[in-house]
Amino acid sequence: MAWALVIATALVAAFTPPSAATGRADTEQSNVDLVNPFIGTSGRSDTEYGGMIPSTAPPFAMTRWSPMTRQNYVSRTPYHYDDTKISGFIGTHQPAIWMGDSGYVVGMPGVGPVKTSPDDRALPFSHADEHAAPDRYSVRMQAGSGRTLKTEMTGTSRVGLLRTTYPEGVDTNFVLQATRSGVTGNVHVDPATREITGYNPDRQDSNLGPFKASNFKGYFVARFDTGFDSYGTATGGTLHEGQGDRTDGDLSAYVRFPSGTRTVQVRIATSFISLQQARANLAAEAPDDRSFEQIAETTRAQWNEKLNRVCLQGATADQQAIFYTSMYHALQYPSENSEQGRYYSAYDDEVHSGVSYTGYSLWDTFRAENAFLTLFAPERIDDMVTSMLHDYQEGGWLPMWKNITETNIMVGTNADSVIAEDIAKGFTGFDRNLAYEAVRKDAMTPPDKDTELAYFDRQQGTPVEARAGLTYYEQNGWVAADRTAESASRTLDYAYEDWAVAQVAKAVGKTDDAEMFLRRSANYKKLYNPATGFMQARNLDGSWAIGGWTEGDRWVYALDVLHDVPGLMDLMGGQEKFAAWLDDYFAGGHNNHTNEPSHHVAYLYDDAGQPWKTQEAVRRIAAANYANRTDGLSGNEDCGQMSAWYVLSSLGIYPVNPASATYAVGSPFFDRAWVQLPNAPRPLTISAPGAATNQYVKSLSLNGQGINHPVLSHADLLRGGTLRFAMSDTPQGWGASSTPPQEADAH
């Protein structure tokens, strides 16, 4: 059994972590079995919930495979737990519910007459007949007359493998859908090779951003282990019997199998480069001589390598499910975009040599997801930064929200923070000088038509947005509300990003630039209105304006100064008044954990000299917003940010200012967590006996050395050893100080 499960069920008193080499407690079961992929698949409305799917694929997979209960598009994912029919199994590249899919492909087995339209081919199912795990998925669908049709699914990064067991005595078929209405693609059926090949050029976010990527296609090669009895193509619901090649819209191909066929396997390889590359991906990742079980076990091993790096003691069964599911979610983003050393770039519509990732939801993920990755997937960091630098070279700017290419969604150039954080944490495997060139352009070069366009959310026909309103920010120190949309949020973002750019400048020896950007990072003060005690948007002439926020309000954004909390406290009247302000904020119900700007706020009590209130608030937020249920995420996952918050907070840390390479201290949820960080020379044991019922920190030490401030450095954690919390059931004075633990150049 998995180590955490052993602890929970057998109440083992001794803490004996698994081998540091394998990260496994035994060979039969592991933490992958504690993941509940259905968390976040339903919620209070069709959009305001986790937006997750029970996908099967390795960490950071290019293509994720999911049952399909509805047609996905922007603001709709392909699976929702409340649906009752399955219409296919989709290889999807949709990174989040608010984004569109790109180059997807759908397969669906069927019995009796061939049905190609999603509504006609859909089959009922019960959740009692459904099983989901990171390494495989299975479901029994009702095929009429008491018969069931079973489909199992596993996947590699670029290949999905479906195994279908058909009922006896029925005609059997398989439909492969390439495109939907209004999208022209291609399918080709080759009975000699038992293949269906083709492409789907659909990119549902193609209306956003300046890069139209006219050559974009999602290519696929579907290879069956069973010969075809007959075949054809279909447009809409119309069958074209015996036609093996077609270029059209709303397009599918279908095959029928010989009488008596019971089990059929199909391997569906995907590529953004070409059909030849899809075949190469198939040969490399899921060749014909590798069985379903072998491929599933390889995917399971990849998840085990990550999930078994953390073992928990004192966690309930629900907490274990939430924790390991959170790791499963956070380890999916960003996703691989390169294939065997090459990648298609939608920025310049060409194929390049090198590495590439996509799904950069940076406005969300710079806050905690990237910090999570630096701890648990550091081997990916250099390539992820290099990928962003490729985007800069091919498209002229670092990504803001990259979904295959730039979509111009959200505000700010938060790649600046990610790069600064990675440098501060000692990553060296990317071109730092090129990185500085890129972040400096973000900070110094207004986007095209900056004084002509308002750059509203999802405004079409715009150039790369970058720091919209930068012209006015450079002129006055704030983005003008009567010129640029979401101006107040932008101003606060730009001030923080200036601080981050200053850190990159220092790292490459640009000291004069660093000083200039540090001065500019104080611009947040120009939005503070002492008459109201809030940050407030300003017009070009300096007058106060209304609104100007991005997915938040004046309460949340009053606290959006990640890099200079002492300076913010000074504006608001000092520590005591700041702490009282936080009390009013929480008492008034202003903390909205469903959206990211509030994610750091609970930790600000650390700076206000009342860390026991951070400890209270973090526990309260976790209990209210995370659960082991299908509706167990209060807000959209947003490419790992929601889950990264939970993982880090449950371990007792959170990166309020990610680019500082420090973590605020909160309250660990578990008696003990054994963590084998990939780059650490020895495991880190986080010990907090009695944490389940004692949420307050009485003292803290690292390897026997007392820690008096509620802050830890990344380097502290990487050294490993024992981080020992003494816990209490009543508020304690530990960590209270009149000098908040901030970096000297933060203010």
What are 162-221's pLDDT values in tens digits? Answer: 999 999 999 999 999 999 999 999 999 999 999 999 999 999 999 999 999 999 999 999
Q: Using alpha carbons, list the distances in angstroms from residue 710 to 341, 569, 648, 697, 700.
A: 44, 17, 15, 10, 9
Residue 28 pLDDT greater than 80, yes or no:
no
- Of residues 422, 310, 373, the one with CA closest to residue 18: 310
Conformation bin of residue 316: beta by default, left when phi > 0, alpha when psi is -120 to 50: beta
Q: What's the whole-number mean pLDDT along residues 472-485?
A: 98
Residue 279 burial (C-beta neighbours within 10 Å; 0-12, 13-18, 19+): middle
37 and 327 in contact (C-beta within 8 Å)? no
For the cut 90, the answer to whether the pLDDT of residue 102 exceeds it is yes
Three-class HEC string of 55-94: CECCCCCCCEEEEECCCCECCECCCCCCCCEECEEEEECC
As a whole number, the mean pLDDT across the chain is 94
| Residue 38 reports pLDDT greater than 90 | yes
pLDDT in tens, 509-538: 999 999 999 999 999 999 999 999 999 999
pLDDT confidence of residue 5: 33
Specify the pLDDT at position 16. 43
Spatial CB neighbours of 289, under 8 Å, sequence gap ≥ 6 = none
Which secondary-structure segment (H or E) carries 617? Answer: helix 611-625
DSSP 381: H
Alpha helices in 205-285, H assignment, sequence order: 275-285
**147-to-112, 257, 314 alpha-carbon distances in Å:** 12, 18, 45
Closest listed residue to residue 664, CA positions, set 725, 721, 719, 601? 601
Name the pLDDT band for 745 (thresholds 50, 70, 90): very low
Rounded to whole angstroms, the Cα distance separating 121 from 85 reads 10
Phi, psi of 14 (to 5 degrees): -80, 145
Over range 267-273, report the average pLDDT: 98
Q: What is the pLDDT of residues 387-402, one digit of tens each?
A: 999 999 999 999 999 9
The more confident residue out of 558 and 5 is 558
Please list the residues that pair with 148 across neighbouring strands. Answer: 142
Tell me: the pLDDT tens digits for 662-689? 999 999 999 999 999 998 899 999 999 9
pLDDT in tens, 300-356: 999 999 999 999 999 999 999 999 999 999 999 999 999 999 999 999 999 999 999
Query: What is the pLDDT, as a whole number, of residue 29?
Result: 61
pLDDT digits (tens, 9 = 90+) for 683-706: 999 999 999 999 999 999 999 999
Given this model, what pLDDT does residue 46 score? 86
63-73 as b/e, with b when 16 or more CB fall inside 10 Å? bbbbbbbbebb
Residue 12 confidence (pLDDT) above 60? no
* pTM reported for the whole predicted model: 0.95
Residues 402-450: tens digit of each pLDDT: 999 999 999 999 999 999 999 999 999 999 999 999 999 999 999 999 9
Distance between CA atoms of residues 257 and 344, nearest Å: 36
Q: What pLDDT is attached to residue 1? A: 31
Residue 160 token pair: 């999905």
Q: Tokens in use for 2?
A: 């998995």
Residue 739 pLDDT level (bands cut at 50, 70, 90): low
How far are the Cα atoms of 460, 523, 540, 708 from residue 747, in angstroms, in the given order?
Answer: 38, 11, 26, 22
3-class DSSP state of 118: helix
> Stretch 620-643: mean pLDDT, rounded?
98
User: Rounded to an integer, what distance in angstroms lies between the CA atom of residue 186 and that of residue 179?
Assistant: 8
* Residue 738, pLDDT above cutoff 70: no
Percent of the chain with pLDDT over 90: 94
Contact (Cβ atoms closer than 8 angstroms) between residue 742 and residue 564 = yes
- Contact status, residue 425 vs residue 372, Cβ threshold 8 Å: no
- Residue 530 makes CB contacts below 8 A (sequence gap 6+) with 571
- Sorted by sequence, the CB contacts under 8 Å of residue 207 that are 6+ apart come out as 460
AA letter at 727: M
Name every residue whose Cβ is closer than 8 Å to that of residue 519 and which is 6 or more positions away in sequence: none
